[in-house]
Each structure stands twice: as C-alpha cells, then as structure tokens.
Amino acid sequence: MTAPEDTLRIGLVGAAGRMGATLVREITGRPGVRLSGATERPGAEALGRDVGSLAGLEPLGLAITADAAALFATSDVVIDFTAPAATLAHAALAAEHGVPLVIGTTGLDAAHERQLAEHARRVAMVLSGNMSLGVNLLVALTAKVAATLGPDFDIEIVEMHHRHKVDAPSGTALMLGRAAAAGRGVSLDDVADRGRDGITGARTPGAIGFAALRGGDVVGEHTVLFAADGERIELTHKATDRRLFARGAVTAALWTRTRPPGLYAMADVLGLG
C-alpha cells in the first residue's frame, strides 16, 4: 500500500542500538509517518541487515547502510540518538540538505552545542537530553523551585542508568542542573560539582552537585534534592520504558515540519518553553 503524500518520511541514524530499535518500532507503528531509511557507522555489524528484522519486526525492505548523505536526501526529517562527533556530522548534512534534525544524543558539551546552533541557522533542529513529557515538566519545576527557595537550600542531582551508558552525568541530569542554575540566576559551569572523592572539605556554598549511578537495566531515574537544615524537597522522575523517549522524538519530528530554522528544545515542542 502506498503511503499518503502527506506522510512524514523519517530517517534514522544509529539504527542498530537499543534506542534505534525502539525508534524503528515506534515509527512503523505510528500513523502519519514512515521510516525512509536507516544508517549505522562504517564497519558496524548491522550494515546490510533489514532494519525491521533487527528491531524484532517483519522485514521492512530497508537495509541499514553507512550512507548518511543519501539518507538525508530521501527524508523529510532525521532522528539522531548517536554520539557527539557523529551528531555534529549529521547536523552539517541537515543544514546542507535543508532537512530538520531531532537530536537525542547525550554527552554534548557547550562547544558542541555552539556548533549545532550554527547549523541550526539554516534548518530547524530539536535538541534535548530527554524527550519525555514528564522529564520536561520536571525541568520546569526544578527551575521554579530553585528560584523560589533561598541559598540555605543545597541542590544535589542524583541519576541512575543501566550499566551500558557511556556518559556521566546524563544529559537529563545536566538539563536539570542548568534549570536549577537558571532559577538561581547563575551559570551551571560556575557552580557545578561533578565529582567528589577523598578529603574534599565542606560543601561549597551555592554548588550544584551531581552523582551518577550505573547498574542493571535501569532506563533512567533522576532526582533533584533541595536540602536545608530540618527539611528536604525531592523531585523525582523514573522511566521504566524507553518507548517514551521514542514517542517524544517522533512527536518532535512531526513538530519540525512547520518550523523555521533555529535550535529548539523539547520544551518548545511540548509548549512548556
């Protein structure tokens, strides 16, 4: 059956990983969109395999390739959950082809984000360390609570993920840290404490601390603690199924089709900005 002309063609880079497989299942099961192609890095074992079969579905007749340029040429939007260096290369292709890009890659630093913003002057891009509605509500709440509470409240961010996660703190934890810092009117770079070991001395006043836990198959858990003498406020989000991130990414992909160039956040997609 031929897809309707208004069906959004979504390309997927990094299709062979767990998040890639989840995205394949989400895209193929959602009306109004179809998978236009899928890529992996050169030399990956998945090259040449059917992307549907790899995701546990019936074959889709789409073999995974290493040709990202061809993918952008045949897609209306591309979703990227890969690694920082790959994402920058994909952002350049997005700008070159005028194809919006939805980025769920974590481990991006300020320099990476500046490069992405430069490419986004030519095409719409959505960048978020977490695509879920619940987490983005948590980000908004964190900024509000940080702005409301005084300096007597210390801020700590604790996150836990599965044993295979390669970056720490998580992109979501950094989103929460930036929200807390913005609520206090400071830069996270100036107040972040991302590791304590040995005789560290007393806690630095105004610091925003991070703790990263890794183990098992945890999809993602994040808690922002506001601790003062005699009381503590804890804001927590727990993800139990990575499909929620895939749903958010596809929602963002649909949202980009009518957006002018710019670097957007998931809060913009969800109307929380």
Q: CB neighbours (10 Å) of residue 139?
A: 28
Q: Are strands 231-239 and 220-228 parallel, antiparallel or unpaired?
A: antiparallel
Selecting among 165, 222, 237, 238, the annotated active-site residue is: 165
Tokens standing for residue 3: 């897809």
Q: Which helix (H) or strand (E) holds 113?
A: helix 110-119
Using the structure block, give the residue that is written with the tokens 């002057």.
121
Q: CB neighbours (10 Å) of residue 215?
A: 9
Selecting among 90, 97, 161, 222, the annotated active-site residue is: 161
Q: CB neighbours (10 Å) of residue 47?
A: 15
Tokens standing for residue 118: 């430069």
What contacts 156, CB < 8 A, 6 or more positions away? Answer: 208, 209, 210, 211, 224, 225, 227
165 has catalytic annotation: yes
DSSP summary character for residue 260: P
Cα first-last separation, the chain:
39
Residue numbers annotated as active site: 161, 165
